[in-house]
Amino acid sequence: MASNNRTAYHTWIENIAKFRKLDVAAVDSVGRGRVWTGRQAKANGLVDELGGLDRAIVAAKLRAKIPAESEVEIVVYPPKRSFFDLVTKGFKTEQGGSLLAMLVPDEERRALGVALSPLRLFQPGETLALMPALFLK
């Protein structure tokens, strides 16, 4: 797992350096797992300008030569998943690994799997038949 994280980090740093036209060592020196505010990121050369989603859409349209008045569809990637989907599909990552395996120790993961195993019986949107409840005193 550690080597996968190391490889992902180095790939990420190399891509930032390539697209920002910066030296890999320079990007790594401001990275190192730190989180920057927008202003700090701008001061460190990691972003061009500050703004929200609306500003990002305007900039993307401009770069893609899409007329400003054109409607565009926002596609969320990766798609949002419900808690049910996360649990029943094992928190799979794009690479096929398990996010749950990366975040939760083995013994806790096994306990969580046992506790949530009944959820695997049902599918989202499926009608459930409930048996009448019988209470004895």
Residue 69: per-residue pLDDT = 94
User: What pLDDT, on the 0 to 100 scale, is given for residue 109?
Assistant: 73
Asked if the structure places residue 94 within a domain, the reply is: yes
pLDDT for 1 equals: 45
* Cα–Cα dist 35/41, whole Å: 9
Is residue 58 in a domain? no
Please report whether residue 137 resides in a domain.
no
Q: For residue 55, count CB atoms less than 10 angstroms from its CB and return exposed for 0-12, middle for 13-18, buried for 19 or more.
A: exposed
Does some domain include residue 55? no
Full domain range(s) for residue 88:
83-120
What is the number of structural domains in the chain? 2
Does residue 69 sit within a domain?
A: no
Within-domain flag for 75? no
Give the pLDDT confidence score for residue 84 in this predicted structure.
64
> Which residues of the chain, if any, have pLDDT below 70?
1-6, 83-102, 118-137
pLDDT at residue 5 in the model: 61
* DSSP characters over 14-27: HHHHHHHT--HHHH
Q: What is the pLDDT of residue 130?
A: 58
